[in-house]
Chain A
């Protein structure tokens, strides 16, 4: 353990992830050499993970406001009005680096962190999702990582007691050395009782709550801001250890305390623990903070100030309380068996002062720690997007039935049941739509019919080919998935996972994707209200596919008309709403059947997207629809197959005249849905579509035991289901 007056050498500065010019900035700011603790504090506040120094310039361009937005980015989570005086509070955050090093704990604490972000603001978590990306299935580490991450997500969420109702799992060799674990959580609160992190009032007690501080996770945020190499195993001690039991107690104690009116400000201790939470509370409120570390409950003896300030021990909170309610607050925390300690006070001198054993070990300007963090306008280059591939240049399958069976059983397309059956998706008793559909849906507690829909989406292969169109597509698909159950998309959170931003081509991906996201959000009135950026997702110089994951929330005022994907009854008419499929570039068909990852991704016409989506939603809400599914990965053929498998019944389809049957079936053109309606209603829907200027094509009818595409293929639903259901369990059992 190093002493606080350890000489600050260039090596020590470098090992804290600070560049020489950044260190010079520190020297200029404080006018002297920092102590070791101060160096640690700067490294915690100024790393990429906490400061957003490479992305801030671009994040500012995103639309973050709207009539329903109560609180946009900058707080622990975004807050959106859902009528009746209620609000939904949500965010998504990455835990990529820790999960690669230690999959169970990395994933578990990722879930714990995002749940804390939500209940810190006064909301009871009601839904969780996660977007997971792993290396190629054949990579020797993949199975171990899938197993550990899924167990970790479940281990935390199940014990805490939040339903995990959706998410994504993908495989690609570009994640071999750097998996992605993005966790989403949403909670419900009264719109007039939201809690924020801004401290107010001088001389008020700063209270430490929750679990004790240990040495786990010291320097975690700095680790998360660096690339990996072969020495990664040595970083294991920077991964935190999760305790969902303590988190559940912390939730109950916090919500109980918030009801008393004692809480002025609250901030959870996430990345960079005590440092980040205290600085944020003070800096936002234009107040100084003085902490006496001797008062901090510790798990082990002899911890230095440096270790305590950088510990990322989990399940901890910092609050500023009304002094007259201190005793009441303490009693609540004692009842729940949690630590409660006054560790400092707010001051009027705008200093962040840390005492240990009666000595001042750090004394820094609090505003500058946050506001004066370096901000970079990093150079970027935009790659020229690949040319579009004409359908005529893509071979037809020899056997359409075999091709579709292969596609629905491909690693990226197979059923995720093996995963979501390890997540408690039913707890709380409000789950209206279980995982496996277009979106997860929960009823809003206390209402009969009012519900919320949630979806997580991004197509990294599109983003790799064209970050701008890929960014647009991620938003469009999320918006479409919410629409497909009948919900009105309200707002979204983004989790931007990219490689090393110091490389201009990676920075170009980040810029392009943010521009695409921004354009789509504006066109669809779908603001970004919270988010997280994870950069340096590289191992030994190989970056991940650019992966800007989008988590969206939609409002469904009447559950009784919610649409689901399953075919419901024989004889229902099947309609394609939207244009004919034509685009095979970057498609699943091209990759899985022809082994080509090529071409431009499908362009996203946002005007069309909105027009078609609004039309489909109005059909659903008028109770005209018996099933609805959006068309995305794998095109129309996969959408029909999924509807057939979910409904355990087939369909008889006849394609309209086309010169590219494979593009009609497997093209991934955007802004499209498949709906079923009672046979007699089909003409009315087509007429309404025509009036709205939307293409609607009668494809055929539900019925039978096969998906029968006239003159092309007859595919047994049972065979599709077998291929679809078997891949994941067989892979995890080591059979593939």
Chain B
């Protein structure tokens, strides 16, 4: 199984993500540069966390227009699994690959802490390793994690079972406690929390592991 991690100027959790994918799959993912317009043939594409272009404009807005994004859209259309974490989620929303937008946290402060997430659907390669309704731990570390969508979009997300995770104890004001959502075809997951930072005993837990294990197994 092959995976790729996309690196933008200002990405800063790409090393965490690369280490996680390597530890779990035994295979080092390919690093893909934002300015490339082609992706190698892989089964999983990950857009990691960070502050692409400093996030001085809306978070993810500039990265969403990078040359590599057209290639990611093409691969996603073909059904390749795409995971966007934190800044990656923001970029996927800005690129129109996921609906909605991520605004400033309700408390107006950056927040780094461990939160609890409820797994809302197991019908995706990312969540099939969990049980529906299972509560898992995951760190968050963001300033702009307040998910917003219009009523119609929200109704669709709910109706189509596309809410992957909800916060148990909402840290950022997200509408309907949404922490992560799936695309229509269910092969794109965007989420604010960082499952890649909770995969081994050193991190204080391994609740993030099943997400990567199932995604990597499904495409192997």
Contacts and interface: CB of A to CB of B under 8 A. Distances in A.
Nearest to B15: A428
Nearest to B56: A245
A160 interface: yes
Interface stretch (B47-55, B65-73, B174-182): B47-55
A161 B203 contact: no
B129 interface: no
A570 interface: no
A74 to B, nearest CB: 31
A422 B109 contact: yes
Range for the number of chain A residues in contact with chain B: 20 to 34
Interface stretch (B110-118, B120-128, B147-155): B110-118
Contact of A248 (B10, B109, B139): B10
A429 B112 contact: no
Interface in A502-553: none
Nearest to B200: A429
**What is the size category of the interface that chain B forms with chain A?**
20 to 34
Nearest to A451: B202
A159 B51 contact: yes
Contact of A424 (B56, B109, B112, B202): B112
A445 B202 CA distance: 12
Contacts of B53: 245
A336 B143 CA distance: 25
Given A159-B10, A431-B203, A426 B112 contact: yes
A190 B19 CA distance: 20
Interface string A158-175: 111100000000000000
B110 A155 contact: yes
B34 to A, nearest CB: 11
B90 interface: no
B146 interface: no
A161 B112 contact: no
Given A159-B54, A421-B111, A429 B12 contact: no
Given A158-B141, A159-B51, A427 B9 contact: no
B176 to A, nearest CB: 24
A425 interface: yes
Contacts of B77: none
B141 A249 contact: no
B16 interface: yes
B109 A429 contact: no
Contact of A161 (B12, B55, B56, B109): B12
Contact of A427 (B10, B12, B54): B12
A429 B51 contact: no
Given A243-B54, A245-B54, A154 B9 contact: no
Contact of B16 (A158, A246, A428, A559): A428
Contacts of B194: 426
Nearest to A160: B12
B94 interface: no
B197 interface: yes
A430 interface: yes
B36 to A, nearest CB: 12
A420 B110 CA distance: 10
A423 interface: yes
Interface in A328-343: 336-337
A339 to B, nearest CB: 14
A602 to B, nearest CB: 35
A245 B10 contact: yes
Interface of B: 9-10, 12-13, 15-16, 19-20, 50-51, 53-56, 109-113, 139, 141, 143, 194, 196-197, 199, 202-204
5 contacts: A245-B55, A246-B54, A424-B110, A427-B141, A427-B197
